[in-house]
Amino acid sequence: MKYPRLGVNIDHVATLRQQRGEFYPEVSRAADICLASGADQITIHLREDRRHIQDRDVPDTHNECRKFKRPLNFEMGCSDEMVQIACNQKPEWVCLVPEKRAERTTEGGLDVVDPNNYLRVKNACETIKKKSPNTKISLFVEANPEVLKRCLTLNADAVEIHTGEYAKDFLNKKDLSSHLKMYREGRTIIKAQGWGYHAGHGLTLESLETLLSERQFEEYNIGHWIIGEALFFGLSDVVKKMLTLMNKYPLEA
């Protein structure tokens, strides 16, 4: 039986650390706890402004992933600097995301329709594939048919659908049918080429269950809610609770 994978994003452990500029709480320790508790991978986002994850966290976290024989999912913008770091570190996965200095968090998916943005993403993919051929690439995008079809012309392996608007509508008890319809249609487009179909952003235990019941996505990357709940219940217990829920919804063959 195949079940959806859980990637735990531990960026906000670093957010807490950077508020005081201390060495604690240690990001690598959070990775260790999540992986020991059954998480399938660790996700970190090294932003250009270094607001949370720092350069040293990348090899430290990757070492923890290697210890557990689990992937590191390295979120990054398409800048030359980040591409070079990815090529040097050679993570198992890279997730290319849009990045704006003024945003609190990633606000939407990559624009691969605009020719200039498309070229930047294309160049980033080709450089990473050339210099780190074992690294797989996912593209963080909206579930828009035009966008998804453009993604399939790039040298990548998966898309990660931005679920932020869905998550907001879930919390506000709005109708979710349009989101779910888009996700179903998106899966048809993406799986026709054999790519991975992942999801993430803004999800909680409750909003995750609705998506799990649809059995569309094979991987979820979740961070902010997990780290927030960990303040009250502990990181290991929250990860295990989420995995218990996910294991109630095996993927269809």
Residue 83 to residue 70: CA distance in whole angstroms? 22
Per the CB < 8 A criterion, the answer to whether 212 and 246 are in contact is yes
Per the CB < 8 A criterion, the answer to whether 177 and 237 are in contact is no
Residue 123 to residue 107: CA distance in whole angstroms? 23
Tell me the C-alpha to C-alpha distance, in Å, between residue 117 and each of 48, 61, 79, 124, 185: 17, 30, 11, 11, 24
Q: Is 107 labeled as catalytic in the residue annotation?
A: no
Which residue is catalytic, options 45, 62, 162, 179?
45
Tallying the residues shown for the chain, one arrives at 253
Which residue is catalytic, options 64, 99, 201, 229?
201
Which residue is catalytic, options 12, 62, 64, 75?
75
Q: Is 12 labeled as catalytic in the residue annotation?
A: no
Per the CB < 8 A criterion, the answer to whether 140 and 95 are in contact is yes
Q: Is 179 labeled as catalytic in the residue annotation?
A: no
Active site positions, annotated: 45, 75, 201
